[in-house]
Amino acid sequence: MAVKTKKILVPLDGSKNSIRGLDMAIHIARQSHGTITALSVKSVPGAYALHPLGFLDFNSMTEVKKLLENAKVRAAKKGIQLTGKALAGDPGYDIARFANNAKNGIDLIVIGARGRGSAKEMFLGSVSNHVLHKSKKPTLIVK
């Protein structure tokens, strides 16, 4: 039985690995005639993540909007429709929660092996490792 991969989730943080993940998602979307949802989650301290207005300042929102716009252009050059979404919170948790939400209709997650994090991310990276273990959707980790 062939699995249809119509909607691909790509978490983006601006790192080289997340861009490689985007390129792989574009390749898969072209093969399966699918679409991509790019998700950028701005990491915020725990208490601020619960605030209704979030913790995003204007500079970080500008950076996120630019990142998502560049991803949209990159996908459009290959004929793929990309929708961007920005959230504030815990990246690993929020990516898995977004993918697991049936309303979003995600079929596959394509994520970079390591993002912009620091030394605590040894092999896989804490975000990609969390998504791999907490998501109910197939996950492709790109190095």
- Cα–Cα distance, 62 to 82 (Å, whole number): 19
pLDDT (tens digit, 9 = 90+) per residue, 78-133?
Answer: 999 999 999 988 999 999 999 999 999 999 999 998 765 544 444 446 899 999 99
**How far is residue 2 from each of residues 27, 41, 100, 113, 137, measured CA to CA in Å?**
18, 32, 21, 26, 16
Identify the CATH homologous superfamily for domain 1-14+62-122+129-143.
HUPs (3.40.50.620)
DSSP-derived letter for residue 86 is E
Q: Which letter does DSSP use for residue 2 in this model?
A: P
Spatial distance between the Cα atoms of 26 and 110, rounded to a whole number of angstroms:
10
pLDDT interval class at 53 (50, 70, 90): low
For the chain, give every domain's residue range: 1-14+62-122+129-143
- Taking the C-alpha atoms of residue 53 and residue 50, their distance in angstroms, rounded to an integer, is 9
